[in-house]
């Protein structure tokens, strides 16, 4: 995993290296459930994913809205850390909370080739977490790269969000009892 070491205790048990249906992994190729995919959406995951797990795993940049809607509650995104790792790249570590309970931890590497957007970030006009909105409210292309259940029951997924001049690589780990935990 390219930047998972920053997730601390989230990967406590073991890393699943081989992604197969036998060990609970999924490896996606190409375009997968894009926000603007035309008149038909198609998602195919192995049968061991529950309906709610499939919704979470395939959320294409709208996880906060889906969880807020499902639970009829606010989702808070707390920035744990952010640092610039290159002239045009930033590493962000965030946690998502609902009802004061963390349910997801995410690491993002945001790479921006749009010079005017980089200048707006440098001036403090745009937050790195809002680059797609700041770039003209564009809808990013979603590409699920990997999804799997870890041995501790957590759900892991890795995906890309991209649009002209912006690429966001995201790794997320979800609490093993995401829905029961939040509903309590």
Q: How confident is the model at residue 12 (pLDDT cuts 50, 70, 90)?
A: very low
Q: For 67-79, how does the pLDDT look when each residue is reduced to its tens digit (9 = 90+)?
A: 888 888 899 999 9
Residue 121 confidence (pLDDT): 86
Residue 16 has pLDDT above 90, yes or no: no
Q: For 24-68, how does the pLDDT look when each residue is reduced to its tens digit (9 = 90+)?
A: 333 333 333 344 444 445 566 767 788 888 888 888 878 888 888
Residue 26 confidence (pLDDT): 38
Residue with tokens 């049968």: 47
Q: How confident is the model at residue 130 (pLDDT cuts 50, 70, 90)?
A: confident
Residue with tokens 């009802």: 99
- What is the tally of helices (H) and strands (E) in the chain? 5, 7
Q: What is the DSSP letter of 60?
A: -
Which residues neighbour 44 within 8 Å (Cβ) at sequence distance 6 or greater?
none
Higher-confidence residue: 31 or 10?
Answer: 31
By the 10 Å C-beta count (0-12 exposed, 13-18 middle, 19+ buried), 180 is classed as exposed
Q: How confident is the model at residue 137 (pLDDT cuts 50, 70, 90)?
A: low
Q: Taking the alpha carbons of 57, 63, 69, 73 in that order, is the dihedral positive or negative?
A: positive
Instruction: Tell me what the mean pLDDT of segment 1-12 comes to.
Output: 34
CB atoms closer than 10 angstroms to residue 158: 20
Our CA angle for 32, 33, 36, nearest 5°, is: 125
Q: Taking the alpha carbons of 8, 33, 25, 98 in that order, is the dihedral positive or negative?
A: positive
The 3-state secondary structure of 161-173, one letter per residue: EEECCEEEEEEEE
Residue 180 confidence (pLDDT): 63
Residue 85 confidence (pLDDT): 94
- The torsion of the CA quartet 39, 44, 50, 51, rounded to 10 degrees, works out to 10
For 104-131, give one letter per residue: b (16+ CB within 10 A) or e: bbbbbbbbbebeebbebbeeeebebbeb
Structure tokens at 89: 């790249």
Residue with tokens 């957007």: 117
Q: How confident is the model at residue 93 (pLDDT cuts 50, 70, 90)?
A: very high
């Amino acid at each position: 995993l390219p930047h998972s070491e920053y997730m601390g205790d989230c990967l406590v048990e073991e890393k699943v290296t081989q992604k197969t249906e036998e060990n609970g992994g999924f490896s996606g190729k190409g375009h997968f459930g894009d926000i603007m995919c035309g008149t038909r959406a198609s998602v195919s995951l192995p049968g061991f994913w529950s309906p709610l797990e499939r919704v979470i795993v395939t959320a294409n940049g709208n996880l906060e809205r889906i969880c807020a809607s499902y639970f009829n509650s606010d989702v808070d995104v707390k920035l744990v850390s952010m640092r610039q790792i290159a002239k045009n790249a930033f590493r962000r570590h965030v946690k998502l909370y609902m009802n004061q309970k963390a349910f997801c931890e995410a690491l993002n590497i945001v790479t921006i080739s749009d010079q005017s957007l980089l200048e707006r970030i440098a001036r403090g006009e745009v937050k790195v977490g809002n680059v797609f909105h700041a770039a003209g409210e564009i809808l990013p292309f979603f590409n699920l790269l990997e999804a799997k259940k870890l041995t501790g029951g957590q759900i892991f997924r890795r995906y890309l969000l991209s649009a002209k001049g912006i690429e966001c690589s995201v790794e997320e780990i979800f609490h093993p009892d995401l829905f029961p935990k939040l509903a309590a």
